[in-house]
Structure 1
Amino acid sequence: MKRLYRHLLFLSLLLVIGIQVASAQATPAKQTSRNILEALETTAPGEGVVTINQAPELRRLVGAPNSGAVLGREGNYTLLMGYRVQMFNSNRSGAKAEAYARAEQIRHIAPTMSSYITYKAPFWRLAVGNFATREEATQARARLVSTLPAWARESYVVRDKVRILNYTDPNSREE
Structure 2
Amino acid sequence: MNRTTRSFILIQILLAISAVSAFSAVPPQAATMSAETVKDSSGVRSIPEGYALKDSVIYVPAPKADTLLAGKNIFSIMPAVEKGYAADVKVHQSSEIRASMNAHFAGNASRQISGYRIRIFFDNKQSSREDSQAVMDRFTGMYHDVPAYRSYVNPYFKVTVGDFRSKTEAMQLLRKIRHEFPAAFIVKEKGICYPAVDKENAVTADTLEILYRLPEPENEMTL
Give the TM-score normalised by the residue count of structure 1: 0.47
Structure with more contact order per residue of length (Cα contacts < 8 Å, sep ≥ 6): 2
Give the TM-score normalised by the residue count of structure 2: 0.37
Structure with max Cα Rg: 1
